[in-house]
Amino acid sequence: MDGSKYTMDLHTHTIVSGHAYNTMNEMIRAAADKNLKIIGITEHAPAMPGSTNLYYFQNLNILRNEKYGVHVLYGAELNILDEQGTTDLDARSWRDLDYCIASFHDACTVSGTKEENTNAYVQAMKHPKVMVIGHPDNGIFPADYEELVRAAAEEHVLIELNNNSLNPQGFRLNARNNDLVILDLCVKHHVPVLLSSDAHCEEEVGNFSRVIPLLQETGFPEELVVNQSEELLRQYLPTA
Ligand SMILES: [Zn+2]
Ligand SMILES: [Zn+2]
């Protein structure tokens, strides 16, 4: 399948995240070279070891939203820290962001039970800026996927299909099987998925090569893939 109809990548990291390797300009240039229309820069929030500080997020509004012919959105990947869905940016720091991703990372949070993790996801969805749940396929943080997807429908939040999760050299557990379950539930509850590269270097920007085969294999409906429609994105992010 030709991936070029997917014109947005809303989950990318730069050197600011501490374990990614290109500058913001390089990432935006890579998006332009790959004919993306929209890129989202979403650094790890401060609980991630080696990432940046609160003031970085507060100051993003000095940057332009158009660069190299690409529309640039500025967000954050929040860390879900506990069962209550607590995240690691204060309101002053997320207030001016375009959107946030909320994710579990084992560098920041110890997994709870399936019920606790599910509750954490559901509570994180209620955050005013959370537009998408990041890599819920990571089996290190087991969750009740039926409950997760049902809550996403109710809270008007997207589910991410993360290309990095399917990297054979990656650290996420059982991601492929979990993705198959999640995709099936997204169809059942009519919840769109957001394809993300989760790029930590410029070569990965807009790379959906591992998730596209899953969409094909499951016959996932195109109208539930956010990346093919700016109109659909705007239902979740009116400012995009
Ligand atoms: Zn992540
Ligand atoms: Zn990420």
CA 5 to centroid of ligand 2, rounded, Å:
22
To the nearest 10°, the Cα dihedral for 17, 177, 10, 235? -140
**Alpha helix (H) residue ranges in 81-192:** 91-94, 114-125, 145-155, 175-189
Ligand 2 centroid to 51 CA: how many Å? 12
Q: What is the average pLDDT score of the chain?
A: 96
Relative to the alpha carbon of 109, which ligand is closest? Answer: 1
**Closest ligand, as measured to the CA of 47:** 1
Report which bound ligand comes closest to the CA of 204. 2
How many angstroms is it from 104 CA to the middle of ligand 1?
7
Q: Over the stretch 7-52, which tens digit does the pLDDT of each residue have?
A: 999 999 999 999 999 999 999 999 999 999 999 999 999 999 999 9
Measured in angstroms, how far is the CA atom of residue 135 from the centroid of ligand 1?
Answer: 7
The C-alpha angle 186, 187, 189, rounded to 5 degrees, equals 65
Cα separations in angstroms, 127 against 120, 192, 222: 11, 19, 28
Using a CB cutoff of 5 Å, list residues around ligand 2, an ion.
77, 198
DSSP string, 29-56: HHHHHTT-SEEEEEEEPTTSTT---HHH
Give pLDDT tens digits for 138-196: 999 999 999 999 999 999 999 999 999 999 988 888 999 999 999 999 999 999 999 99
- Residue 219: which residues within 8 A CB-CB, separation 6 or more? none
**CA 89 – CA 44 distance, rounded (Å):** 10
The closest of 111, 129, 128 to 120, measured between CA atoms, is: 111
Task: Classify residue 113 as exposed, middle or buried by CB count within 10 Å of its CB (0-12, 13-18, 19+).
Answer: exposed
User: By C-alpha distance, which of 80, 3, 75 is closest to 43?
Assistant: 75
Question: From the CA of 76, which ligand is nearest?
Answer: 2
What pLDDT score was predicted for residue 2? Answer: 47
Q: Specify whether the CB–CB gap between 125 and 151 falls below 8 A.
A: yes
Q: Which ligand is nearest to the CA of 9?
A: 2
Question: Residues 59, 127, 200, 163: is their CA dihedral positive or negative?
Answer: negative
Tell how far the Cα of 165 is from the centroid of ligand 2, in angstroms: 10
Q: What is the pLDDT of residues 76-86, one digit of tens each?
A: 999 999 999 99
State pLDDT tens for residues 46-55: 999 999 999 9
pLDDT of 1 above 70: no
Question: What residues form DSSP beta bridges with 78?
Answer: 102
Query: What CATH fold (topology level) applies to the domain 3-236?
Result: TIM Barrel (3.20.20)
